[in-house]
Amino acid sequence: MPSDRASLGLKIAAFAGLLFLHLPILLIFVYAFTTEDRTYQWPPPGLTLKWFGVTWNRPDVWEALTLSLKVATVSTVLALVLGTLCAAAVSRARFFGRETVSLLVILPIALPGIVTGIALRSAFNLGGIPFSTLTIILGHATFCIVVVYNNAVARFRRISGPMLEASADLGANGFQTFRYIVLPNIGTALLAGGMLAFALSFDEVIVTTFTAGQQQTLPIWMLEELVRPRQRPVTNVVAMMVVLVTFLPILGAYYLTRGGAETAGGGK
């Protein structure tokens, strides 16, 4: 029947699309186990677990991983604070230029990363700020704030105004209203935004290249290791780790926000 053929065609197209998207990632996983240490030979001549032990004993990997985790954590905390404050101001207050402010907040993530990187590098040079962990964090915060802001502002706008007024009428102060009314309604949105911000910061390359100086985050370490023919499977083992570290927050954010269509105060 025509409908059955259409359904089969859609399934084949969907499967082909998923294969196109994820086959390169699966190849990374395979090459992490190959016995060949210099080329990407297909099929792999053999499989081994030795590269996991080699990676574990590489101090440069641990240094890069520690820096990436530190940068991603601090950038996410900054983004949660500043992004939430921006979202609260834009969604709950009425002032001239509000839409312009909203546009300026989300602009960094719309610009090409290389433009943001060059702009930040120029600003740091003009300010006499030496490149360090702080400059990487500030660079990552520019786009992490946008992720948190987008999640928070959508949830803020769904909070019922009369519910906040009722809280004030019952004698609650601003902090109590935030704690018992606002925070429970925006909590999952903030958590999802924080997870996405962490994942984006952890695997950022372009902005980091312009703001890191001599330091190496894990993605920068991988980029430099790719040009070396020695122990290439180690890079694939680290790539596996990056995939897993970024996949779990994204998966968590998806499950936290997929039921976010309900109106706050309406039984959520």
Rounded CA separation 68/157 (Å): 34
Cβ–Cβ under 8 Å, residues 79 and 194: yes
Per-residue model confidence (pLDDT) at position 261: 45
Question: 106 is written with which tokens?
Answer: 């989300």
Torsions phi, psi for 122 (to 5 deg):
-65, -40
Torsions phi, psi for 47 (to 5 deg):
-120, 140
Per-residue model confidence (pLDDT) at position 84: 84
Q: Domains of the chain (ranges plus CATH)?
A: 58-258 (1.10.3720.10)
Per-residue model confidence (pLDDT) at position 263: 39
Rounded CA separation 117/131 (Å): 13
CB atoms within 10 A of CB 77: 16
Q: Is the dihedral of CA 89, 91, 95, 98 positive or negative?
A: positive
Question: 61 is written with which tokens?
Answer: 């990997």
Q: Under the phi-then-psi rule, with left for phi > 0, alpha for psi from -120 to 50, and beta for the rest, what region is 64?
A: alpha
Angle at 244 between CA 200 and CA 253, to 5 degrees: 55
The burial class, CB within 10 Å (0-12 / 13-18 / 19+), for 195 is buried
Residues 6 or more apart in contact with residue 84 via CB below 8 angstroms: 148, 149, 152, 186, 190
CB atoms within 10 A of CB 108: 20
Whose CA is closest to 222, among 68, 98, 78?
Answer: 68
List residues bridging with 255 in a β-sheet.
Answer: none
**For each of the chain's 268 residues, which pLDDT tens digit applies?**
555 565 777 878 887 888 887 777 787 777 777 777 666 667 777 777 777 887 788 888 888 888 888 999 999 999 888 888 888 787 776 767 677 777 777 777 777 878 888 888 888 888 888 888 888 888 888 888 888 888 888 777 776 666 666 766 666 666 666 766 777 777 777 888 888 888 888 888 888 888 887 788 888 888 877 776 666 777 888 888 878 777 777 777 667 666 544 433 443 3
Question: First and final CA of the chain: distance in angstroms?
Answer: 43
Per-residue model confidence (pLDDT) at position 216: 82
pTM: 0.76
List residues bridging with 47 in a β-sheet.
Answer: 34
Rounded CA separation 157/76 (Å): 22
Whose CA is closest to 124, among 140, 114, 136, 135?
Answer: 135
